[in-house]
A and B are shown apart, each in its own frame.
Chain A
Amino acid sequence: MNKKPIKILLADDDEDDRLFFKEAIDELNLNTELTIVEDGEKLMNNLLDPTIEMPHVIFLDLNMPCKSGMECLSEIRDSELLASLTVAIYSTSSSEEDIEQSFVKGANIYIKKPNDFESLKKVLNRVITTNWQYFSSGMNKENFLLSI
């Protein structure tokens, strides 16, 4: 198995959603290390803090106070330092337009928030393990698009 943990960063302002997410990750039995922030501003501060190691994947809620998920995504893609990060949009919307718009703005993954715990676990497992292949095999992240 992996020697080093897979680092995951979640930005979500909803407390219930954060708990739900953390429990699902804990139950996956993957070697992961989860950091949670409550809004977009805190997310950007975390990413730009040179003492904190970069995550392997960021889960980004779209509707957050201070700085929305879309604003964060644009900032990440415009920053030379952060541009290559894997960003997963984590949203309640399943409209084709929102999905396509997120990808065009540079998201790698679009997740429609599942309502039940088992589906959430399945979705997170697929996202984390697929992203791991891109990392461990040095695949072209620009072509990494996954809608789930």
Chain B
Amino acid sequence: MELDHLGIDYAFLGGNEVELKSSIPAGLFCQLKENLASFGISIVDNQKDLLVQKIKDAILEMIYSEENPPVSKTSVYLSEKLNLSYGHLTNLFSEETLTTLENYIILQKIERAKDLIIHGEYNLTEIADKLNYSSVAHLSNQFKKTTGLTPSAFQRIVNKRKQAKQISSKQELTSN
């Protein structure tokens, strides 16, 4: 643990949060930040960034929950989870992320849809159901709007990429 290493007192708050027992000098803070960066850990050192991260985590938790159907209303879920008004959350999110909360949720839902499509275990009707879309048409429309591609074109491209990779690795084997 880098904090022990640098002689900093701390306590875990659970999740991704650590509380420092006392404030630390800027020089030491920069060193900590650098040391952690080499592990791929970034320090969220401002309250707004922290809240944005909490919103993002809550969105992912909602989208990836296996309950079926997961949550009835996103705005209620988020404001209850973070104990802040939905209006406050959406404003902050737009200020900090170059997108809106609504668009971000759609983007992440479509990402999950992509994963499920690639995985091949479920058909589109089941995926629409899992992600709380009212119909396959609704999912397909939002997929097309978000990616510019239909779900089937997406699947075709991913499959062709896989084939191309297999062919090139086979060629490498034979040429060796």
Task: Look across to chain A and name the residue whose beta carbon is closest to the beta carbon of B163.
Answer: A104
CB–CB A133/B97 < 8 A: yes
Q: Which of B89-136 contact A (CB under 8 A)?
A: 95-99, 104, 107-108, 111, 114-115, 118
Task: Known contacts A2-B98, A100-B153, A133-B97; decide if A145 and B56 are in contact (CB<8 Å).
Answer: no
B3 contacts partner chain A, Cβ-Cβ < 8 Å:
no
Min CB distance, A41 to chain B, in Å? 24
Residues in B with CB closer than 8 Å to A81 are none
Q: Residue of A at shortest CB range from B95?
A: A1
Interface string of B137-174 (1 = CB under 8 A from A): 00000000001110001101110110010000000000
Cα A105 to Cα B163 with chains together (Å): 11
Say whether B98 contacts A30, CB under 8 Å: yes
Q: Which residues of B contact A148 (CB under 8 A)?
A: 148
Q: Does A21 contact B (CB under 8 A)?
A: no
A139 and B111: CB pair below 8 A? yes
The interface residues of chain A lying within 8 Å CB-to-CB of B154 are: 145
- Residues on B with C-beta less than 8 A from A106 are 161
CA of A140 to CA of B114 in the docked complex: distance in angstroms? 10
Q: Measured between C-beta atoms, what is the minimum distance from B170 to chain A in Å?
A: 16
Chain A interface residues (CB < 8 Å from chain B): 1-2, 30, 100, 103-106, 110, 128-130, 132-133, 136-137, 139-140, 143, 145-148
Name the 7 nearest CB pairs between A and B, nearest first.
A147-B148, A129-B98, A104-B160, A103-B157, A143-B114, A132-B98, A148-B148
- List 5 additional contacts besides A130-B107, A139-B108; criterion CB under 8 Å: A2-B98, A104-B157, A129-B99, A137-B56, A139-B111
Cross-chain pairs A/B with CB under 8 angstroms, 18 sampled? A100-B157, A103-B161, A104-B157, A106-B161, A128-B98, A129-B98, A129-B99, A132-B98, A133-B98, A137-B56, A140-B111, A140-B115, A143-B114, A143-B115, A143-B158, A145-B148, A146-B147, A147-B148
